[in-house]
Amino acid sequence: MSGRSAFSRLLPCLLISCGGGGSGSKVDFTLNFTPATLTSRFFHNQHPFQNTYSTVSASIDGTIDPLPSSSLYVVISEDAPVFLGTVSLTETGGNGFSISLTPDTSISAGTHSGNLTIRMYADAAFTKEYAVKGGTLPYTLTVDPELTVTVKVDGVLQAKTFSSSNTPVTAINGSTIYWYSGQPAAGFTLPPGKVITLESSIPVTWHSPDQFYPYGYLWSAPTVTPTTLTQTLAQPPEGTAGMDGNAFIAVPATGDQFGAGLVIDIQP
């Protein structure tokens, strides 16, 4: 099964071969889907192995009655451009099949609902259409915001923004931080006493330099809310040239999105 669109967008056409039953241009096929609505949840700009370990898909199981004795050419049209690439249709035995599509993760955060329309043909030219009952498949895509973190220094907004795609953090184990693609260079080099304010786009758990070895004892605790962190930069130990590699990390409170991290070097 696959798709031609009233939205002037064509999903690639696939072929399914089924055994049994009768066929013909006037045969009425009945489709049923479990569950009744195709659903998927992901976050804006989600990319596997870049800001999450998981891929994005939308899948549903279906049945067809009666089974045709010859191949069916199937077109799935979407009412809005919210899916990408080739539709995967797999026979699951008997009169069952499954449909899998890849949502477009660049669509805006929010809920996107609509319908897919499934049409069946006896020929590859799509000139001999079957009558299909149950050929409308509702979909709901829930798109969460991508994690981004903005930075203010002494109340002044900085140009650099950090996200689950830019210096992401995959895990934290004690004082060990697992940065995706290795620990980044310092995002800022600042003198001690500056006040850093971080603001995240979604609720997070904050991790700040006062929690990490070996200089945690030098820092005062930050002031935090689920979306903000404010902290005064610590004074490096006496006699040292500075204190580099101070990590600030925001880990999403829910979902499988990577954390967003930044590093600040402190130089007197």
- 122 Rama class: left (phi>0) / alpha (psi -120 to 50) / beta: alpha
Say if domain 14-144 classifies as CATH 3.80.10. no
Question: Do 172 and 248 form a contact (C-beta atoms < 8 A)?
Answer: no
Per-residue pLDDT of the chain (268 residues; tens, 9 = 90+): 333 322 223 333 343 333 233 344 464 799 999 999 999 999 999 999 999 999 999 999 999 999 877 788 888 889 999 999 888 888 888 899 999 999 999 999 999 999 999 998 888 888 998 999 999 999 999 999 999 999 999 999 999 999 999 999 999 999 999 999 899 999 999 999 999 999 999 999 999 999 999 999 999 999 999 999 999 999 999 889 899 999 999 999 988 899 999 999 999 8
| pTM summary value | 0.83
pLDDT at 122: 87
pLDDT at 35: 96
Domain ranges for the chain, please list them.
14-144, 148-266
- In 3D space, the residue among 67, 60, 66, 63 whose CA is nearest the CA of residue 18 turns out to be 67
SS3 72: strand
Q: Which two tokens stand for residue 55?
A: 């891929």
- In 3D space, the residue among 132, 137, 206 whose CA is nearest the CA of residue 169 turns out to be 206
